[in-house]
Copies of this chain bind each other. A is one copy, B any other.
Amino acid sequence: MTLSKTSARYGEQVPTPHYGQPRYRTIADELRQRIESGVIPPGALLPAESALTAEFRASRGTIRQAIALLRAAGVLVTDHGRGTYANPGSPVGDSASEVETRERHIAANAEIASLFAVEVGTVLIEHRSITRTNGAVSLVVVKYRLLQLQRDCLRVP
């Protein structure tokens, strides 16, 4: 029911709710900014997870989720008993972009239905892809395709 804006700010303890951005993404953005701004130079070790836990007042799992995000983006590298450090060999370091995708079934509206030459209300697959560059949404891609089962593509073992 679309609750009005709760004036909850981060930095304090949030029980569980994720307003707007989840906590781990906020932390990831903060860490990436530190790297891009030079606070954490390339190759330098980040504070230990236990330290980040204390600083961001988040659980270790949440910190690790944030780190995993940046590791997947190639921004960070982690060695087992050693630590996590800023990847010295990141191409631009700046244009790190993450893609978030999502698929769902939808009923075709008039516009889409006419494109596919099907009846309005026909179930289609909608594939959404949101690309964030430096944390900001830079590209949105929406794909539509028919729900028909594809007998043409067979998996090879």
Cβ-defined contact, B152 with A134, below 8 A: yes
Cβ-defined contact, B103 with A145, below 8 A: no
Select one of B101, B140, B144 contacting A115, CB under 8 A.
Answer: B140
Q: For chain A residues 125-149, which have a beta carbon within 8 Å of chain B?
A: 125, 130, 133-134, 136-146, 149
Which residues of chain B are near A89, meaning CB under 8 Å? 150, 153, 155
Select one of B104, B115, B152 contacting A82, CB under 8 A.
Answer: B104
Q: Within 8 Å of chain B (Cβ to Cβ): is A30?
A: no
- Considering the chains assembled together, what is the distance between the CA atoms of A150 and B134 in angstroms? 10
Which residues of chain B are near A115, meaning CB under 8 Å? 130, 137, 140
Cβ-defined contact, B36 with A95, below 8 A: no
Q: Within 8 Å of chain B (Cβ to Cβ): is A72?
A: yes
Knowing that A136-B150, A138-B146 touch, tell me 12 more A-B residue pairs with CB under 8 angstroms: A42-B155, A72-B72, A88-B125, A92-B153, A112-B140, A115-B130, A116-B137, A117-B137, A134-B152, A138-B145, A138-B149, A142-B142
